[in-house]
Structure 1
């Protein structure tokens, strides 16, 4: 069985999404399909390291940021009817990784109250 690599294009344009992008795309689509009306416009936190999630759909961006152990290790995606393709997820992951790498915040996080717990008890509130 031949493995897919960057040399074996998955599409006519030669794009092969990363595993993290595929996983992130699947999670976002799954949350939408689980409750198309209730989850629309809610927020999901996706880990930058592997595209995984904590499995929680948050009511708003501030809650999603607050309940992450390290908010800079995640990207925050608003769940929409179209979901997110693996290509979009790859671009979104790359954008967030680069923002955090150079010490910036993504534009949509500017102005969001970033809650940084100082001890374990504060983290679990």
Structure 2
């Protein structure tokens, strides 16, 4: 009978499928994975630096320009005869076509240099 030979082949196949850690074909260890993440991060940083050099910054464009932020801030600070705010944040947001959180986000930022209208 050839049973011992079949068992030998099965053991060899199992041994080849799961090589010992010191063999050259061992699967990568977690350290190999960490190194590849570090290399990926370095490549990503290089790509971002190259994009910045070309004038690209990434991210979404602001919903409101500097002049619009200035106007929204003026509307927010404006008071009625009764001493209450003349415009609600919801009304200001509707005027500029943005959401209330967008208005609050811009109102929360420190006031930048005033934008002056240039006359032509």
- The interval holding the TM-score normalised by the smaller chain is under 0.3
TM-score of the two chains, using structure 1 as the length reference: 0.21
More helix as a share of residues = 2
